[in-house]
Structure 1
Amino acid sequence: MKSALLILDMQNELIDPNGKVGKNGFAKMVADLKLVQKTAAVADAFRARNLPVVFVNVGFEKGYLDAISKQSRLAHLKDMGAMIIGEFGTGFPDALAPNEGDLVVTKRAVNPFHNTNLLNWLQANKVERIVLAGVYTHMVVDSTARHGDDSGLFVTVLEDCCASPDMDLHRIECEKILPLFSTVSRSEEFLKLL
């Protein structure tokens, strides 16, 4: 079964200490959990087996002309001037930067399948399983797992390559919600089976 790794929203704005969101404490949490290193090791393992690695980020045009959501989370990003395409915040940390041949999908919603070519690309490349790493577990990881399952894909969530600012939300997702839509695993266990 062909698998693809989806690295979700692990972009500078959220996980770098200089990111407009990350500087408020989440970047330190990501560093303490070694999320970048663990995810980079999984990405390297996928590339070594010639399996696709897909990076997903959130990005908007200047002025947020392409933003659709009316919710407070988007207003918060607008207030900070965060996640503008082409700026530092939509890039990825050097230790987890896309390699040549990796796909980068920029979304404007929580769900990376919404208004992107992601599902078509996965189908065209005969991917049957998506393996998820990313932040935040209770938002993009949850949304991706649900949509992937609804689309007929097998879904695996690497719980030690995911995090939320409130790790109780992460734990509840991994223990009670994500198992309804996916297989929840740790990266080292999954790599033994890959």
Structure 2
Amino acid sequence: MAATTRKYVSFYYATAGDPPEVKIDPRRTCMLVVDMQNEFVLRDFGEALGFKKNGEWDRWVPFHDRLDDVVIPNTKKLIEFMRKNGIEVTYGRIACLKETGEDRCIVQKTPGWNNMLIPVNSYAAQMVDELKPMGDEIVVNKTTDSVVTGTNYATLIRNMDIETVIVTGIVTDQCVASTVRSLADHGFKVIVAEDCCAAATMELHDAELTIMNNIYCTVMSSDEIIELIKNNL
């Protein structure tokens, strides 16, 4: 079993022993990148400017350091591996169709950190350059936390005969977690790439992965995922 999987074990599974080894068919696998958008990732744009204006930038620096130093490089590595081996790369992003944001769910209309108004054609909505989609790679727009709820993502990948989804992105304890749970409820096998995700703090990140691992998904590192796929090509 992958070392990362062993790291994230909740109370419920503390005495359950090792779960079965993960089996994967690369031909029926896709990667999903969640919300790695200019609005949330850039240090000189979007949310970061709001944090600086409000005098709370210092507490967000570790999050942005993880994005720059860990999440983006590992996600880029994983994307390149997937493309090289003919495995679909897909994207989910927060983007409303109405400029006013009337089509957003109540979570994204509620005042506070989750109050996000990101029109679909705006610079804020685009994926960061390092991870941007290529060619006909599927990009699903969502006005919810989950990439699955309220979109046709599950239908699209089911039409493509996908059975396993490798999830990456931000933030671990919100949009990533909502997506993982939705995919599991729709009958997909889910793998979360731990070092391709981030939450506001490592405490939140680790706690959410511990909750989800073995129940809704299998948590692995990007290198472990690459090795798993190589062994099954």
TM-score, normalised via structure 1 length: 0.90
Tell me by how many angstroms 1:189 deviates. 0.9
**1:69-84 counterparts in 2 under 5 A?**
69=106, 71=107, 74-76=110-112, 82-84=117-119
- Partner residue of 1:56? 92
Residue 141 of structure 2 corresponds to residue 115 of structure 1: no
Of all paired residues, the percent bearing the same amino acid is 24
Tell me by how many angstroms 1:193 deviates. 1.2
Residue 176 of structure 2 corresponds to residue 141 of structure 1: yes
Give per-residue Cα distances to partners, 1:40-64, cap 9 Å, x unaligned: 1111111111111111100122111
**Higher mean displacement: 16-25 or 127-136:** 16-25
- Partner residue of 2:39? 13
Counterpart of 1:44 in structure 2: which amino acid?
Answer: E
Tell me by how many angstroms 1:73 deviates. 6.8
SS in 1 for 2:145: coil
Q: Whose relative contact order is higher, 1 or 2, with alpha carbons under 8 Å and at least 6 apart?
A: 2
- Partner residue of 2:212? 177
The whole-number CA distance in structure 1 between the counterparts of 2:175 and 2:208 is 12
Unaligned residue ranges in structure 1 (runs of 5+): none
The whole-number CA distance in structure 1 between the counterparts of 2:104 and 2:147 is 14
SS in 1 for 2:135: coil
Q: 1:63 to 1:134 in 2, by over 3 A?
A: same
TM-score, normalised via structure 2 length: 0.76
The whole-number CA distance in structure 2 between the counterparts of 1:77 and 1:20 is 12
Contact 1:54 1:103 in 2 (8 A): yes
The whole-number CA distance in structure 2 between the counterparts of 1:72 and 1:152 is 27
Give per-residue Cα distances to partners, 1:14-39, cap 9 Å, x unaligned: 1111332244334344113x211110
- Select which of 68, 79, 82 maps to 1:43: 79
Give per-residue Cα distances to partners, 1:62-84, cap 9 Å, x unaligned: 11111121x477434697x7422
